[in-house]
Amino acid sequence: MGCLESLKYEIILRDTSFSECREYIRSACKEYVDVDPGFKIFDKHIIGIPPISIGFDGDVITFPFTKPCYGTFLMRVEDHDEAERIRKSAPSKKK
């Protein structure tokens, strides 16, 4: 997810697990969708243990991000177009 570095992002959780990310997103975000690993977000394929939850608060997207040497982070990025694209292309809306 190299292009993530060019975005204005906020790290919510560091060195976390996928179940913690999922629980956070499902409880803290106004809406969320579940996607499979490989789903594209910010033009990269998302890595993780399914189901992977992606949360939304308006145009703010909350999602897990894994790097081999640094583990898993929970990130937040504001992007209207990407939020709309994910809402439309995700298999089903959960909340």
Of 31 and 37, the one with the shorter C-beta distance to other proteins is 37
Which residues in 1-95 belong to E strands, given as ranges? 9-16, 31-35, 40-41, 44-45, 52-57, 60-67, 71-78, 92-93
Of 11 and 30, the one with the shorter C-beta distance to other proteins is 11
Residues 46-75 that bind other proteins (CB under 8 A): 46-50, 66-72
Please check whether residue 15 is in contact with residue 84, taking contact to mean a CB–CB distance below 8 angstroms: no
| Site string (3-22) toward other proteins, x via CB under 8 A | --------------xx----
